[in-house]
Amino acid sequence: MSVVDHHPPAAPPAAPGPGPGATRPPRRTLARPTAAGLGAATALLLCVIGGVWAFIALRINIATLTDSADNAVDFLSRTLPLDFPPAGDLFSLIWQTLAIVVSATVLSVVLSVPLALLAARNTTPGTGARLASRGVIVLCRAIPEVVFAIAAFRVFGLGGMTGVVALGVHSVGMVGKLYADAVEQTDEGPRTALRATGAGRLQQITSAVLPQALPSLVATALHRLDINLRASAVLGFVGVNGLGYALSTAITTLDYQRAMAIALVLLLLCFVAESISGAIRRTLLQEVTAARRPRRRRPERQDARRDQRPGGTAPARPTSGATATTTADARSIATADAKRITGTAAADGTAAAMGTQAPAARGGTAVRRSLPRWDARRIRRTTWLVLTVALVVASAVRSGLSWHTLRRGAESFLPTVGDFLPPGTGGIGDQLWADLWVTLQIALAGTLIGLVLALPLGTLAARNVVGSPRVARFFRTVILLVRAIPELVLAIVFVVVTGLGAVSGALALGVGSVGLLGKLVADSLEETDPGPARALVATGARRHQVFFGSVLPRAWPAVVGHLLYQLDVNLRSATLLGIVGAGGIGYDLLNAARVLQFPVVTTIVLMVLALVLLIEGLAVWVRKVYA
């Protein structure tokens, strides 16, 4: 009888020298680069080279900043002391701005939900409708809000309605895209269960899809509220009332004491709004996460307990090979799955909408349906809901929204569209192309400045990198403060300090990019898998070795995607900064609107739109390659 040895045979000893019997270590082979990878790397390299070239072409250097030091001191002396409006007027301006921003955000949500459902693959099987809705979303995102404001001013005239329509329609570009992504990422299990009960498409969407996407929908709406609050400063330069209009009036009259006072109020308002919305998002996500983790009993234990009860009957066991499920069982599965996802109350409403009834109690007695108890969490959520509805209604009234205004706008919509068509150059076609080139330079240089500043700040704001929560919290606060400053306010300051031209626009975008790009970099570093980093720490690696060897390589694809997204944002922002003299094609846009050359406005929009779509297509392709 032979004995089988389950241990692997020992390897022969290696020869000490490089003789013929020596074993050589295997050669480490690198992955062969693909054509797509080489193309994406080349595109990123060209973007970096373009940023450096734009930085040099615009003559942004230490000498320029040093020469502007005297102007900065003079500007500071002209702004102090700050001249705030009277308390009553200031409160009226703040309330007018908040009312427009809240109403615009609600309008964007109302318009984005059906567009997102049409753009999502799991809710719209038809390719034509999906592509059409995606096209509308991209178009709304690519056209600057100031262009929508110019058109809305022609339709609605003076009043808050112009700002609501301009911000609301432009916000559809971002809100609709994120909503469509959230709908596509929902779990198909609850919807499949509802489909098994015979529920229609609308019932599946309202009972299974939207409840799952609700946390993302609320978080996106709150985030867009912050963005719209900063964008309200731009609309003041085209006649929309509020803090932005008061800021533009002060800048026009060279009253820098009043202008910087209003800018400070707007900054504090943005900071407070972003802090509150961030706290609400974190609380909402925590409550939803806790609500989606109910304790579920195993079916075997439930059946066993049911069998042990007096008078209980054992459940019917399926015969061997039986695979069919009765309609009652399917309805029970649907109700249980819906309760797991949307909560008990929502599931009961779903069952009632589908025509199902509560199952009979054991022993033939009907089970009474009890309503959820009013615990602290339910009271808190109800209070937030009531306050939100009251704020929306009050904002709509303060913004001047009315059926009469909407009806008047609908009557003048088509004639206004005719004013913008067909596109024309107005005899300044060469100047438009030259200013568009300057706008691209401003965006590239601003993105490069933002990258150089945001990488170290975002790294210091990541808790898994610095190791100290206090240090990370401090740099998070710095990034939040920078992000709260509207780019238009930064552009005004740099225009006064460095003078008119593209340099002020590039510097404003560079500093403004720190807020968004720094936050995205910090989030990407914190979201990396901690396993490889812990393995390096176990081997004795130091903190910088762990960062460059594990954390940064895994977060780099996300950082690249954020960088391209920031370039996209900066290109649209560079168009707006020309309004205050920061160079680029935005100056031509405002002048064309002032002299009623609306065909020139359309031409400028199409030129910027083509450039934005080109950069956005490049960003989407690079993200797919690095994904």
pLDDT digits (tens, 9 = 90+) for 292-303: 444 444 444 444
Residues of the chain with pLDDT under 50: 1-23, 25, 28-30, 288-289, 292-364
pLDDT in the model for residue 281: 64
Over its C-alpha atoms, the chain yields an Rg (Å, rounded) of 30
Q: Is residue 611 a contact partner of residue 525, using CB atoms and an 8 Å limit?
A: no
The number of residues making up the chain comes to 627
Question: Which structure tokens are listed for 513?
Answer: 């990019």
Output the DSSP codes for 10-75.
PPPPPPSSSSTTPPPPPPPPPPPPPHHHHHHHHHHHHHHHHHHHHHHHTT-SHHHHHHTHHHHHHH
Neighbours of 77 (CB within 10 A): 9
Closest-CA residue to 513 (of 474, 581, 457, 438): 457
pLDDT in the model for residue 99: 92
Burial of 128 (0-12, 13-18, 19+ CB in 10 A): exposed
Q: Is residue 399 a contact partner of residue 99, using CB atoms and an 8 Å limit?
A: yes
Q: How far apart are CA 62 and CA 452, in angstroms?
A: 15
Q: Is residue 232 a contact partner of residue 166, using CB atoms and an 8 Å limit?
A: no
Question: Which structure tokens are listed for 337?
Answer: 């799955």
Say whether pTM exceeds 0.75: no
Residue indicated by tokens 């003078």: 499
Burial of 411 (0-12, 13-18, 19+ CB in 10 A): exposed
Angstrom CA distances, 485 to 144, 226, 400, 601, stand at 19, 11, 28, 28
**81 prior amide bond cis, ω within 30:** yes
pLDDT in the model for residue 337: 43
Q: What is the pLDDT of residues 83-134, one digit of tens each?
A: 899 999 999 999 999 999 999 999 999 999 999 999 988 888 788 888 899 8
* All residues at 6 or more sequence positions from 94 whose CB lies less than 8 Å from its CB, including other chains: 243, 265, 269
pLDDT in the model for residue 112: 93
The phi-psi region of residue 187 (left if phi > 0; otherwise alpha if psi is between -120 and 50; otherwise beta) is beta
Closest-CA residue to 562 (of 515, 599, 496, 529): 515
Q: How far apart are CA 450 and CA 458, in angstroms?
A: 11
What distance separates the 2 farthest-apart alpha carbons in the chain?
Answer: 106
Q: What are phi and psi of 297, to 5 degrees?
A: -85, 150
Angstrom CA distances, 283 to 109, 218, 343, stand at 21, 12, 17
Angstrom CA distances, 479 to 192, 421, 491, stand at 43, 43, 18
Question: Which structure tokens are listed for 530?
Answer: 């901690």
